[in-house]
Chain A
Amino acid sequence: MEKKIRVLVAKPGLDGHDRGAKIVARALRDAGMEVIYTGLHQTADMIVETAVQEDVDVIGLSLLSGAHMTLFRDVTKLLKEKGMGDVLVVGGGIIPKDDVPALKKAGIAGCFGPGTTCEEIVEFIKKNVKK
């Protein structure tokens, strides 16, 4: 049987805007992936603990509050500590272009801002996920 890509779609931080996360979750589902959605207001610890239990290949972080520089990096740092550095982490939301290099350096493999199509995200995941 073919292995399915398992993706955790998570909303770190305090903003309550999850429309984008839900649209992306649905697009990934339609691309044949198993998507686990956490719901709102997750801490980095909660996201990583969920990723452990669900044995995901990918984590998609959605954040619109502006706290991405802190919270995204907390997630990748914790993942490394847990020995889960091979999980592909991508982020979306309102992320200024100037922040992207630092995020990439911190292990956020892809950053998807406003205007990104769902196809781009699906393709990026399929191409970069470690199987």
Chain B
Amino acid sequence: MSNLASKVLKGDPMSIARLISLAENNSSELADEMRVIHKHSGKAYVVGVTGVMGSGKSTLICELARAYRKHGKKVGIVAIDPTSPFSGGALLGDRVRMTDLTMDEGVFIRSMGTRGMLGGLASAVYDAVEILDASGKDVVIIETVGVGQAEVDVVKIADTTLVVLVPGLGDSIQMIKAGIMEIADIFVVNKADRPGIEQITAELESLIDMSCIGKDRKIPVVKTTAKENKGVTELVDEIEKHGLYLKKTKVFEVQRRKRYEAELIEIIRKRLMNFIFDESTFKEKVESMIDQISRKELDPYTAADEILGKILK
């Protein structure tokens, strides 16, 4: 067995960190390690936390992690923030709200930049979740970037998805739009000490009444004030209940299968893109095609056919 993966299985923090870096950098050494990791993963419960920026996701996750720690569970956290499309740099600031967890050996936190991925996640998040899972974490919490309306990829990887809202976000029309409002397994209304809490809760309840007709599970709404650790116990209970529901209805296996499907597609996409854009001879060809497209000597569809033809032949 490879050295790094075997240390990850023993829970060694430095090895976990290094392996996640290999995943982020798409290293050639990654595949051999992940072969080992995959066999030992699948035990951790994965909670996705999404919501608009400033809704208190990081603070809420800190409190959730503390609650799980009280139950003796080990926790892994992957906190994603956006990478600049201009500089390629990123400011990863989620840890600022989680400093209480830093010295707890039962918690491992990793910050991640999106590095060009849309959808609210980072490309390496699938690997990171498997790595933390195999390292013995009982719960893995994923924090998406602060989302708008359409970044919903977290559902592909989480067992339970929390959508975090705050009072004052908008009226009932916002509530019935497609996208993020459709992905919640549990709605969390954070900053519940603020004015407008009754209105947003009522609007959510009416949304849920409409969307849950004929379904055997009603989406719960949990009010929290994460900063004061209020409502967190109720939230942990609701996550637990949802987990039991998934297992009872066998939806759990269906969702897990979907995760592996998404992961497989992501690996193929990454390899294909690297092949097209990173391999030097190919890169030149692509660059010259872009020039031709700009000069109207070539159209993008013909160019795409030509690029794909070279790979698929």
Contact = CB atoms under 8 A, between A and B. Distances in A.
Interface of A: 1, 3-4, 6, 25-26, 28-39, 41-42, 45-46, 49-50, 52-55, 82-84
Interface in B191-242: none
A3 B110 contact: no
Contact of A55 (B17, B92, B103): B17
B288 interface: no
Nearest to A54: B111
B274 A1 contact: yes
A30 B92 CA distance: 13
A41 B91 CA distance: 19
B95 A52 contact: no
Contact of B21 (A31, A38, A50, A55): A55
Interface stretch (B48-56, B81-89, B147-155, B182-190): B81-89
B17 A39 contact: no
B95 A50 contact: yes
Nearest to A47: B102
A42 B91 contact: no
Main secondary structure of the interface of B (DSSP, over half): mixed
A33 B92 CA distance: 10
Given A1-B274, A42-B99, A53-B108, A37 B14 contact: no
Contacts of B91: 25-26, 29, 35, 37
Given A31-B87, A32-B87, A46-B102, A37 B26 contact: no
23 contacts: A3-B25, A6-B21, A26-B91, A29-B90, A31-B89, A34-B83, A34-B89, A34-B111, A34-B113, A37-B95, A38-B96, A42-B99, A49-B13, A50-B95, A50-B102, A50-B109, A52-B13, A52-B14, A53-B13, A54-B111, A55-B17, A55-B18, A83-B14
B14 A82 contact: yes
Nearest to A49: B102
B89 A33 contact: yes
Contacts of B113: 4, 34
Interface of B: 13-14, 16-18, 20-21, 24-26, 83-84, 87-93, 95-97, 99, 102-103, 108-111, 113, 115, 274, 278
Contacts of A4: 24-25, 88-89, 113, 115
Contacts of A45: 103
Given A29-B91, A30-B89, A31-B87, A37 B108 contact: no
8 smallest A-B Cβ distances: which pairs? A39-B96, A29-B89, A55-B17, A32-B88, A55-B21, A32-B89, A46-B102, A1-B26
A38 B87 contact: no
Contact of A54 (B17, B25, B84, B99): B17
A35 B84 CA distance: 12
Contacts of B88: 4, 32
A80 B16 CA distance: 19
B16 to A, nearest CB: 8
A29 B87 contact: yes
Nearest to A22: B91
Given A1-B274, A53-B108, A36 B25 contact: no
A37 B99 CA distance: 11
A28 B90 CA distance: 9
